[in-house]
Amino acid sequence: MNAKNTIQKFLIALVWIASSSSLLVLLVAAVGKQNNQTCQGYAILLKGEENQLFINEKEVLKLVETAANGDIKGKLISRLNIKQLESLLEANKWILDAELYFDNLNILQIAVSERSPIARVFTKSGHSFYLDNTGTRIPLSAHYTARVPVFTGFPEFKKARADSVLISQIKDAAVFIDNHPFWKVQVSEIHITTEKFFEMIPVIGNHVVLLGEGVDLENKFHRLFVYYKQVAAKRGFDSYETLNVQFDGQVIGTRKNGGLPVKVLDQQRKKAVQTMQASYNDNPVIRETIKPVKEQKSNNPSPKINTQKKTVNKKEAKAVMKKRVD
């Protein structure tokens, strides 16, 4: 009985070995046959944000043909190094990922995924570049201009690693602004000072918002929104020259004499209120944590902003307005 079982197992093993050998021979023959065949053409698929393509099919084909030392159609498949072609494509600043393969018709399939810019940065000398969500610098494109948050005054560091912290802050600020409907339409630009502090230039209102370092932006913008809602919606968005929100629980404003006519201020106020209501409709992201502001007069003709962090009890936090006399 045991001998019979042994013979059966032996025969089954022989069948499996024969089948595996046949499959291996067929696979080797197929690979060898394909390597001796020629490329019959190509197909390019570009993957990117909707209606946002910074590189076109012609440019992708040119990159592939440059890497392949000439036309790819009619070239032996064995002479096309797929991995090398993918690496050379991914070396392009606009390309995040590239996948190449031959289908059963010997057509070279080329799938290219673009990088997605999240911010546009202008240096002090006037040069400009994009940043993607990995912090990678991307050159401008001749085909498309991305509508993303704008940052100006970026310092030109001598060492590439010296700007890593600032790049990270710009990336976080851009993501925050882009994800909030009100700030997406209200923020005109973020200016970077020589101290690497952020200053926000709004679309509505003739004032500058001092944000300090590019950290804790959610709370800073929340305090600014509460000021807009409680004060600017009543007095106008051009009442103060500067608004400082870099200190916990405070909105500190300075005001100059004169300003725009009341009619203009009222038009700005109505437009801003409509913008806020439309932006935050059915999107309750604002938390009421700051009490209505009170104006505090000051005789100091040129108040200086204290950059040291202040500790304030959030339960008693309020915006303090300082009037500047010209």
Q: How does pLDDT run across 192-244, given as a tens digit for each residue? A: 999 999 999 999 988 999 999 999 999 999 999 999 998 888 888 888 889 99
Cα separation, 200 vs 191, in Å, equals: 6
**Res. 281: pLDDT tops 70:** no
| DSSP H or E run through 318 | strand 318-323
**Tokens 């018709």 sit at which residue?**
105
Instruction: Kindly list the domain boundaries of the chain, sorted by start residue.
Output: 41-114, 117-323
Nearest one of 74, 110, 113, 78 to 92, comparing CA atoms: 113
Work out the burial of residue 126: count CB atoms within 10 Å of its CB; fewer than 13 is exposed, 13-18 middle, 19 or more buried: exposed
Q: Name the pTM for this structure.
A: 0.67
Choose which CATH entry (3.40.50.11690, 3.40.50.620, 2.60.40.10, 3.40.50.150) describes domain 117-323: 3.40.50.11690
Mean pLDDT over the full length of the chain: 76
- Computed over its alpha carbons, how large is the radius of gyration of the chain? 31
Lowest mean pLDDT among 83-87, 103-107, 197-201, 287-291: 287-291
Q: How does pLDDT run across 149-160, given as a tens digit for each residue? A: 999 999 976 665
CA atoms within 13 Å, Cβ hemisphere of 286: 22
| DSSP H or E run through 117 | strand 117-123
CA-based max dimension of the chain: 112
Q: Enter the DSSP assignment of 280.
A: T
For residue 185, the SS3 value is helix
Q: What is the CATH architecture assignment of 41-114?
A: Roll (3.10)
Average of per-residue pLDDT across 74-100: 91
